[in-house]
Amino acid sequence: MKRVLILLGAICLSPSVYCEETFVYRAKSIQLTPTQLISAGEILVRGSKIIEVGPTVSRPKGSKVIDWGSFQVYPGLISPGSSLGLAEINALRPTRDEREVGSHTAEIEAWSAINPDSELIPVARANGITHSWVIPMGGTISGISGLIRLEGWGIEEMTVRKSVALHLWWPGQGLATKFKTQSVSDKKPKALKEQDKERKRSLVELDEFFNRGEAYAKARQTKDLKVGKNPTWEAMLPFLNAEMPIVIHAEDARQITSALDWAKRRKYEIILSGAKDSWKLAERLAEEEVPVIFRHIFTAPPQSHQPHDLHFRAPGILAEAGVRVSIGLRLGAWAAANQRNLPYYAAQANAYGLSRADAIASITRNPATLLGMQDRLGTLEKGKDATFIACDGDLLDLRTQVVDMRIEGKRVSLASRHTRLRERYLNRPNPYRKQD
């Protein structure tokens, strides 16, 4: 008898459909895809998956109905590249693990350094972010990014995909004619000719690194040639074989042009990140089908004569040209604390020319596609993960609050350090009030 009970318990704890709970969520509207909205819709969920979506859905026996009334439902938001979980307090170096030492550390995996107890994770989650694409920083080749869900007891449970993309920080292509500072040892700034040599040398070194990687890959494919395994080159194999993309971080037009030429010559699949001047090359990016993660919505124009809304309008320019745009925040340790602002960035771009559909896609479907997770995340369709948020208004309205969240069918707390502090100080004793 005891064995039978143990067996039944094991079955119910497994992903088997036989013991999975079934829920029907009813709401004022459901944003199925960036372009498809259902008014007064329902979602049928069994376990971690969406079974049915529509104006009405079937009601299996034993299913529980959750009526969200006037709430609006959207797919869970995806932060397309951040240091969330890798950095906590910018001013305290021991709390930051987003940067590695070395210039070419392709074997580094960002997911392994995530702090699952980060106070910044619940803050981001409270504003609708369910997943974060965490990336390593430092050097020219900083390592491999991973995808985490913002819920779980430990990093293994939180990690959805350990390897997503290789990150390459493109060398600067400009020549500095003015120097803000000058070290004591340098009596004169470097000459333009010397700067040009260094710029060219950095590109040669980059090519040499990838040439060595490709030589290693060919040697490994040769059955009669024994080659000892090298951690760096082993980590490079999926990207050299075009099985996974390379994310190139480049900002100004010269950097972007140089990176595009390099990728085209070497026939690499790339994603452009940062991309401050990408709007200048929108037609080429569309033609070569290079997706863009734009991180400069609130970056001031580089030159005083340029309009103040230059970067507000940039995502709209890219999307109109046919570029698949995802919106992210600028990178750095400080940015981890600001991931909660992701929907506001999309809203700002929407106000300055990016269509509503493209704005929603930029923080849901598009990053899911870049991650290779379009079969699970980014939209609310049959067979996909039951990962969605309920809001008390339009997602792109700054006044809107996220009131409920499900990640793979599981209800997730929206409490955070912010809400705890609010409750604490709401109940703070008033020393000037007469006590009863």
User: Is residue 316 over pLDDT 70?
Assistant: yes
Collapsed DSSP state (helix, strand, coil) of residue 268: coil
pLDDT at residue 217, as a whole number: 86
User: Is residue 172 over pLDDT 70?
Assistant: no
| Residue 156 or residue 200, greater confidence | 156
User: Is residue 101 over pLDDT 70?
Assistant: no
Judge contact between 401 and 393, C-beta under 8 A: yes
Q: Which among 28, 23, 124 is positioned nearest to 392, based on CA atoms?
A: 28
| DSSP notation for 235-265 | HHHHHHTTSS-EEEEE-SHHHHHHHHHHHHH
Backbone angles phi, psi at 350, to 5 degrees: -60, -40
Collapsed DSSP state (helix, strand, coil) of residue 348: helix
Helices and strands in the chain, H and E counts: 12, 16
Residue where the block lists tokens 């009334």: 69
- In angstroms, how far is the first alpha carbon of the chain from the final one? 61
pLDDT at residue 425, as a whole number: 86
Please give the Cα distance from 147 to 354 (Å, whole number): 26
The pair of structure tokens assigned to 252 is 């100004």
Please give the Cα distance from 151 to 124 (Å, whole number): 11
pLDDT at residue 165, as a whole number: 93
For each of the domains in the chain, give its residue range(s) and CATH number, in order of start.
75-174+191-421 (3.20.20.140)
pLDDT (mean) for 242-251: 92
- Extract the runs of DSSP E, i.e. beta strands, from 218-321: 246-250, 270-274, 292-294
Please give the Cα distance from 422 to 136 (Å, whole number): 33
Judge contact between 284 and 336, C-beta under 8 A: no
DSSP code for 88: S
Q: How much of the chain is in helix, strand and coil states, percent to nearest 5?
A: 35, 25, 40
∠ CA 97-102-108, nearest 5°, is: 55
The pair of structure tokens assigned to 408 is 């793979």
pLDDT at residue 140, as a whole number: 85
User: Is residue 98 over pLDDT 60?
Assistant: no
State pTM to two decimals. 0.87
How do residues 329-338 score in pLDDT, each as one tens digit?
Answer: 988 767 778 8
The pair of structure tokens assigned to 174 is 């400009």
The pair of structure tokens assigned to 47 is 């376990």
The pair of structure tokens assigned to 185 is 């040892």
pLDDT at residue 221, as a whole number: 79
pLDDT at residue 226, as a whole number: 67
How do residues 74-93 score in pLDDT, each as one tens digit?
Answer: 999 999 988 787 765 554 44
The pair of structure tokens assigned to 195 is 């700067």
DSSP code for 98: S
pLDDT at residue 142, as a whole number: 85
The pair of structure tokens assigned to 359 is 């704005």
How do residues 117-154 score in pLDDT, each as one tens digit?
Answer: 888 999 999 999 999 999 888 778 888 999 999 999 88
User: Is residue 18 over pLDDT 90?
Assistant: no
Sequence-distant contacts of 430-436: CB under 8 A, at least 24 apart: none
Helix (H) or strand (E) holding 164, with range, is strand 159-169
Question: Within 10 A of 46 (CB to CB), how many other CB atoms are there?
Answer: 17
Judge contact between 131 and 79, C-beta under 8 A: yes
β-bridge partners, 149: 131
